[in-house]
Structure 1
Amino acid sequence: MSILLCLACVLAAVTAYYITYVYLRGRNSFLRKLQGPESPSFLLGNESQLRYQNEVGEHEFKWMRQYGSAWRRTGPLGVNHLSVADPKALQYILHSSGYHFPKGKEVTQIIELILGQGVIWAHGTTHQRQRKIMTPAFFAPQLRTFLPLFQDMASKLVQKWTDEVISPDPTGQPLINVTPWLSRTTLDIIGEAGFDFHFGSLDNAKTPLAKQYENLFVDSTLYPSRLDVVFKALWHYIPQPILHFVRYLPSREYRRFRSYSDYMRGFARGLIKESIVKGDGKDMMSVLLRANLSSDLNGKMSEDEIIAQISTLLFAGHDTTSNTMTWFLWELSKHPESQDRIRAEIEAVRAQKGEECLSPVDLDSMVYTQAALKESMRLHPIAWILRRTAGRDDVIPLAFPITTRSGEQVSSIPIGKGTPIDILVGAYNRLPEIWGQDADEWNPDRFLNIDKTKQATVGLFAGLLNFSGGLRGCIGWRFAILEIQVIATMLLENFAFSLPPQSEKTRIYRKPGAMMIPMVESEQGSWMGLIVKALK
Structure 2
Amino acid sequence: MQVIFLSLCLFFIPLGIIVLCVRRRRRFNLYELRGPDSRSFWLGHQAEYVYQRETGESEFKWMREHGSAWRVRGCMGEHRLMVADPKALQYILHISGYNFPKSPDASHTIRMLTGDGLAGEIHRRQRKVMAAAFSVPHLKTFLTQFQRTAAKASGLTCQQLAQKWKDEIATDKNQEPILNLSAWLSRATLDIIGEAGFDFDFGALDNSENSVTHMYDRLFVDSLYHGPLDALFKSFWRYLPEPILDLLVYLPRREYRRFRNYLRDIREVSRGIVRKSIIKGDGRDIMSVLLRANDSENPQTKLSDGEVVDQIGTLLLAGHDTSANSLTWFFWELAKHPEWAREIREEIADVRARVGAGNFSITDLEGMSTMLAALKESMRLHPIVWQLSRIAARDDVIPLAYPVTTKSGEEILAIHVPKGTHIDMSFCSYSRLPEVWGEDAGKWNPGRFRDIDREKQFSVGLYANLLNFSGGVRGCLGWRFSIIEMQAIAATLLENFEFSLPPQTPESRITRKPLVLMVPMVEGSAYPWMGLKVRCRD
TM normalised by structure 1 equals: 0.96
1:344 is aligned to 2:346: yes
The Cα RMSD (Å) is 1.8
Structure 2 partner of 1:42 = 41
Q: Per-residue deviation at 1:286?
A: 1.5
Query: 8 Å contact 1:32–1:80 — kept in the other structure?
Result: yes
What is the correspondence of 1:231-270 to structure 2 with a 5 Å cutoff?
231-270=233-272
Give the length in aligned residue pairs. Answer: 532
Deviations 1:100-150 (A, max 9, x none): 111111111111110011111134632443433443687532233321111
Task: Please say if 1:129 is aligned against 2:128.
Answer: yes
Deviation at 1:517, TM superposition (A): 0.9
Out of 175, 179, 183, which is 1:176 matched to?
179
What are the Cα deviations for residues 477-533 of structure 1, in whole angstroms up to 9, with x where unaligned?
000000000001100011010001112221100011111110112543100110101
Instruction: Please name the residue that 2:155 is paired with.
Output: 151
Q: Once the two structures are superposed, what CA deviation does each residue of 1:441-493 show, in whole Å capped at 9, x if it has no partner?
A: 01100000112232110000101111000111000000000000000110001
Rounded to whole Å, the distance in 2 between the matches of 1:126 and 1:333 is 44
Distance 1:134 1:529 in 2: 39
Q: Is the 8 A contact 2:125 2:301 kept in 1?
A: no
Deviation for aligned residue 1:161? 0.3
1:25 match: 23
Task: Give the corresponding residue for 1:405.
Answer: 407
Other-structure match for 2:63: 64
Whether contact under 8 Å (2:336, 2:500) holds in the other structure is: yes
Q: Separation in 2 of the partners of 1:405 and 1:453?
A: 33
The CA distance in 2 between the partners of 1:256 and 1:450, in whole Å, is 44
Partner of 1:167: 170
Q: CA deviation at 1:38?
A: 0.8
Candidates 468, 471, 488, aligned match of 1:469: 471
Q: Distance in 2 between matches of 1:116 and 1:133?
A: 21
Deviation of 1:281 (Å)? 2.4
Cα displacement (A) at 1:437: 0.7
Which residue in the other structure is 1:79 paired with? 78
2:292 counterpart residue number: 290
Greater displacement, 140-149 / 72-81: 140-149
Tell me the residue number matched to 1:364.
366
Cα offset for 1:8? 7.4
- Note closer, same or farther for the CA distance 1:508–1:9 as it changes in structure 2 (3 Å cut): closer
Task: Tell me the SS of whatever aligns to 2:425.
Answer: strand
Asked whether the 8 Å contact 1:102–1:123 carries over to 2, the reply is no
Note the alpha carbon deviations across 1:200-259, whole angstroms, 9 max, x for none. Answer: 11112532221111111111112x133321111110110111111110112221111111
The residue type paired with residue 269 of structure 1 is R
Q: Distance in 1 between matches of 2:275 and 2:466?
A: 38
Query: Could you tell me whether the CA contact under 8 Å between 2:87 and 2:458 is conserved in 1?
Result: yes
**SS of residue matched to 1:83:** strand
Using the TM superposition, name which of 433-442 and 349-358 deviates more: 349-358
SS of structure 2 residue aligned to 1:73? strand
Matched, 1:204 2:212: no
Residue matched to 1:422 = 424
SS in 1 for 2:108: helix
Matched letter for residue 155 of structure 1: Q
Residue type at the aligned position of 1:429 = S
Deviations 1:304-329 (A, max 9, x none): 11111010111011111101101100
Checking the alignment, whether the CA contact within 8 Å between 2:46 and 2:228 is kept in structure 1 is no
Q: 1:221 aligns with which of 219, 224, 230?
A: 224
Question: 1:310 aligned to 2:308?
Answer: no
Amino acid at match of 1:198: D
Provide closer, same or farther for how the CA distance between residues 74 and 134 of structure 1 changes in structure 2, counting only shifts above 3 A: farther
Q: Distance in 2 between matches of 1:280 and 1:28?
A: 56
Question: Partners of 1:518 and 1:78 in 2: how far apart?
Answer: 32
Q: Residue 100 in 1 paired to residue 83 in 2?
A: no
> Is 1:485 the equivalent of 2:516?
no
Change beyond 3 A, Cα 1:401–1:127: farther
Question: Shift of residue 25 of structure 1?
Answer: 2.2
Query: Aligned with 2:34: secondary structure?
Result: coil
Tell me how far apart the structure 1 counterparts of residues 201 and 504 of structure 2 sit (CA, whole Å): 38
Instruction: Name the aligned partner's letter for residue 161 of structure 1.
Output: W
SS in 1 for 2:447: helix
Instruction: Name the SS of the counterpart of 2:451 in structure 1.
Output: coil
Residue 101 of structure 2 contacts residue 393 of structure 2 at CA under 8 Å; is this kept in 1? yes
What 5-or-longer segments of structure 2 have no aligned partner? none
Q: Name which of structure 1's ranges 41-50 and 190-199 shifts more when overlaid on structure 2.
A: 190-199
| Identical pairs, percent | 51
Q: Secondary structure at the match of 1:201?
A: coil
Q: 1: CA distance between counterparts of 2:515 and 2:333?
A: 20
- After superposition, give the CA deviation of every residue in 1:5-43 in whole Å (9 maximum; x if it has no partner): 7x8777556433332233232244111100001112011
Between 270-279 and 255-264, report the one with greater CA deviation: 270-279
Q: Contact (CA 8 Å) 1:506, 1:522: kept in 2 or not?
A: no
Over residues 169-211 of structure 1, what are the superposed CA-to-partner deviations in whole Å (9 max), with x where a residue is unaligned?
1221111111100011011111122222211111125322211
The code of the aligned residue for 2:188 comes to T
Asked if structure 1 preserves the Cα contact closer than 8 Å seen for 2:215 and 2:266, the reply is: no
2:26·2:418 contact (CA, 8 Å) conserved in 1?
Answer: no
Matched-pair contact (CA < 8 Å) for 1:101–1:391: yes
The 3 A distance-change label for structure 1 pair 127 and 80 is: farther
Counterpart of 1:531 in 2: which secondary structure?
Answer: strand
Distance in 2 between the 1:528 and 1:324 partners? Answer: 11
Secondary structure of 1:202's counterpart equals coil
In 2, the alpha carbon distance for the partners of 1:304 and 1:130 equals 14
The answer to whether the Cα contact below 8 Å between 1:199 and 1:205 also exists between their aligned partners in 2 is no
- On the 8 A contact 2:221/2:526 being kept in 1, the answer is no
